[in-house]
Amino acid sequence: MKVLVVGSGGREHAIVWKIAQSPLVTKIYCAPGNGGISTLAECVPIKAMDIDGVVRFSVDNKIDLVVVAPDDPLAAGMVDELEKAGIRAFGPKKDAAIIEGSKAFAKDLMKKYSIPTAKYEIFENYDHAIEYLKHQEYPLVIKADGLALGKGVIIVHGFDEAQEAVNSIMNDKVFGSAGRKIVVEEFLVGPEVSILAFTDGKTVKPMVSSQDHKRVFDNDEGLNTGGMGAFAPSKIYTPEIAEYCMEKVMKPTISAMNSENRTFKGVIYFGFIITKDGPKVLEYNARFGDPETQVVLPKLDSDLVEIFNSIIDEKLDEIDIKWNDNAAVCVVMASGGYPVKYDTGFEISGLSDAEHDSNTVVFHAGTKQEAGKFLTAGGRVLGVTSMEPTMEQAIKKSYEAVGKIKFNDAHYRTDIGKKY
């Protein structure tokens, strides 16, 4: 099989890395890919949002399977267009990807089908939102409705902060068109757990649990980022909680999407918060999470391409998905100044030393390769993932590997995996 993966981050590197282990695959392409991905796949200069370009390349090169990894092209209907052109594609169609593309849709879906989530209100009018916020108890959570690279969520602790947040989203358009509509939610308290799940629209098979670290600095301080690290499995996601989430959230969500004539096939991400009143859904994503994918896929012992094919053919119930018992920890090395202002183009050294241990793999997120050297090319640069029998050993091994990698202004948290 010839496989094309769409995307360019650490998640895509992890997907390409796992696909490369499949005996079914003869050639891997990635559009546009990055420096690290180029060691496993042929990177082609097609942007992830260039739907026509991806379709044309897939047809011209007789691609057998396209894996659409990022949220934007899924929400824009890339899978629909590939299928129209006769290309097998993995990921939800546009009408199903709306579960991530619109937070308002997702909240209304949960309300309609009694899926546990935070109380909320939706606003399209600035004045109406401000009037509502004058009479609320704080803290509250204010979310841009659309896709905002994982950064469209603001926690506010009083009316003045709330007014500033709504003004920045709706009037200043800091998240662009994603902020035409906002969701105002109650603030829930508790640890967060990420559950990625494979589904073919009939069967749901959860992957191993994971937790990520969103804040840029240690002790969950500083700005929200796309994720500064992750670990798997989660200690707090007990078998009892897992059963509750399956029966009250996962199965009902897939059933609800079917009832809405929006059958979801692909990977669905459930962001849970474990409150004193039980697990509640914080968000849905319509694809593999990042950096969670970088700790979940190393624990997968089954053939990922076989799983993708079974989902496309709606035969997920016929395959047995196996996971190993190791703990996995991913430490993200970012450019200094991320997620606001940062410089790129710095040479990265020590990568081969870091990966000398077979239980450690360095996933590239924002890198490029020039003249045989790897250079920084983004905010999140690398995801350094190690696997060991215990969480403590995996944490130690990841940070040993991080210590071997050098580039100017490198920033990383020192407490990944120690949270719970």
- Residue 63 contacts by C-beta under 8 Å, 6 or more apart in sequence? 2, 3, 4, 29, 57, 87
Among 3.40.50.20, 3.30.450.20, 3.40.50.1580, 3.30.413.10, what is the CATH number of 2-91? 3.40.50.20
As a three-state string, the secondary structure of 327-361 is: EEEEEEEEECCCCCCCCCCCECECHHHHCCCCCEE
- Note the CATH architecture for domain 192-318: 2-Layer Sandwich (3.30)
Separation between Cα atoms, residue 80 and residue 411, nearest integer Å: 39
Ranges of each domain in the chain:
2-91, 119-186, 192-318, 327-411
Query: Contact at 8 Å (CB) between 268 and 278?
Result: no
Task: Spell out the per-residue pLDDT of the chain, length 420, in tens.
Answer: 999 999 999 999 999 999 999 999 999 999 999 999 999 999 999 999 999 999 999 999 999 999 999 999 999 999 999 999 999 999 999 999 999 999 999 999 999 999 999 999 999 999 999 999 999 999 999 999 888 766 688 899 999 999 999 999 999 898 988 888 999 999 999 999 999 999 999 999 999 999 999 999 999 999 889 899 999 999 999 999 999 999 999 999 999 999 999 999 999 999 999 999 999 999 999 999 999 999 999 999 999 999 999 999 999 999 999 999 999 999 999 999 999 999 999 999 999 999 998 999 999 999 999 999 999 999 999 999 999 999 999 999 999 999 999 999 999 999 999 875
Separation between Cα atoms, residue 361 and residue 294, nearest integer Å: 9
- The residue among 185, 191, 189 whose CA lies nearest residue 108 is 185
Query: Contact at 8 Å (CB) between 333 and 348?
Result: no
Residue 132 in tokens = 């509502």
Topology of domain 327-411, per CATH? Glycinamide Ribonucleotide Synthetase; Chain A, domain 4 (3.90.600)
- Note the CATH architecture for domain 119-186: 2-Layer Sandwich (3.30)
